[in-house]
């Protein structure tokens, strides 16, 4: 029998989007000592060893739900003290502000904003680019980080988003992508890592990132 104690990853359920696929992907890479819990209970989230903030949908509802369910203090506490991973709308919710829904103030963990690609987005050569940015794009790793372990620089991840991050502190940018222009798709500071793409939908490389997160000690 293993003497190792169970470690818990809490997936924050704030009533938005598809938590099923995030939880399934984590379970797929978890070993017998890791338990995945999907919860909206602040006490459960607070007791977890690692916290994942998923995100699908619009930012206004996302922030409103976090507030309505009293989750903001526990999210902020988790970001101050344990390995924390935010995904898609999750990363946008950590910025200061988003242009979506006529403008929404967010949690301001990272300095910078989420801006709209626009419905007339173009590539450098003038060709029209579809919005949302939907599909598999290459991620350039702009810093060495434990969550990139075992993932090739330039690997493709699955994206679905119409708003993109502009980070004020370039030294916090962990990854970039190009769609008409270069933009930030991963941010890292201390024990917090956040990505714009969906690891749970990004096949082997996405599963590797989740595996890295499950074993991450929160040190950059």
The DSSP line for 29-87 is: H--TTEEEEEE--HHHHHH-SEEEE---S-HHHHHHHHHHTT-HHHHHHHHHHS-EEEE
DSSP type of residue 201: G
Which of 109, 133, 161, 198 is labelled catalytic? Answer: 198
Say whether 88 is catalytic: yes
116 lies in the binding site for another protein (CB under 8 A): no
- To 5 degrees, how large is the angle CA 215–CA 218–CA 220? 110
141 is an interface residue for another protein by CB under 8 A: no
Q: What are the start-end ranges of the H helices in the chain? A: 19-29, 42-47, 59-68, 72-81, 89-93, 203-214
User: How buried is residue 210: exposed, middle or buried, by Cβ count under 10 Å (0-12/13-18/19+)?
Assistant: buried
- CB hemisphere CA count around 203 (13 angstroms): 7
By CB under 8 A, residue 122 contacts another protein: no
Q: Judge contact between 12 and 63, C-beta under 8 A.
A: no
Of 88, 106, 177, 184, the catalytic one is 88
CA distance 68 to 61: 10
Spatial distance between the Cα atoms of 54 and 15, rounded to a whole number of angstroms: 11
Q: Is 136 in the site for another protein (CB under 8 A)?
A: yes
CB of 81 to another protein, least distance (A): 30
Question: Which one is catalytic: 62, 145, 200, 203?
Answer: 200
CB nearer another protein, residue 84 or residue 159 = 159
115 binds another protein (CB under 8 A): no
Q: Which stretch binds another protein (CB under 8 A): 31-39, 73-81, 117-125, 185-193?
A: 117-125
Which residue lies nearer to another protein by CB, 123 or 149?
A: 123
Report if residue 21 touches another protein, rule: CB under 8 A.
yes
Asked about 198 being catalytic, the answer comes back as yes
Residue (5 or 120) nearer to another protein, CB: 120
Active site residue 200: yes
Active site residues: 88, 198, 200
Chain residues that interact with another protein, rule: CB under 8 A: 17-18, 20-21, 24-25, 28, 56-58, 119-121, 123, 128-138, 140, 154, 156, 158-162, 178-179, 200-203, 206-207
């Amino acid at each position: 029998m293993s003497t190792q104690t169970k470690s818990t990853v809490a997936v924050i359920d704030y009533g938005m989007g598809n938590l099923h696929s995030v939880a399934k992907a984590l379970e797929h890479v978890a070993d017998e000592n890791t338990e995945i819990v999907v919860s909206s209970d602040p006490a459960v989230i607070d007791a977890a060893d690692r916290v994942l903030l998923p995100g699908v949908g619009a930012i206004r509802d996302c922030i409103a739900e976090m507030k309505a369910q009293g989750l903001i203090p526990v999210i902020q506490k988790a970001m101050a003290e344990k390995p924390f991973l935010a995904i898609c709308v999750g990363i946008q919710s950590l910025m200061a502000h988003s242009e979506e829904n006529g403008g929404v103030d967010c949690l301001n963990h990272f300095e910078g904003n989420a801006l709209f690609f626009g419905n007339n987005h173009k590539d450098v050569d003038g060709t029209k680019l579809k919005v949302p940015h939907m599909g598999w794009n290459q991620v350039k790793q702009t810093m060495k980080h434990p969550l990139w372990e075992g993932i090739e620089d330039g690997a493709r991840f699955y994206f679905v988003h119409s708003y993109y991050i502009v980070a004020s502190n370039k030294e916090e940018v962990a990854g970039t992508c190009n769609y008409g222009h270069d933009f930030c798709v991963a941010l890292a500071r201390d024990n917090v890592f956040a990505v714009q793409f969906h690891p749970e939908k990004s096949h082997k490389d996405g599963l590797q990132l989740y595996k890295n997160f499950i074993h991450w000690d929160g040190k950059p």
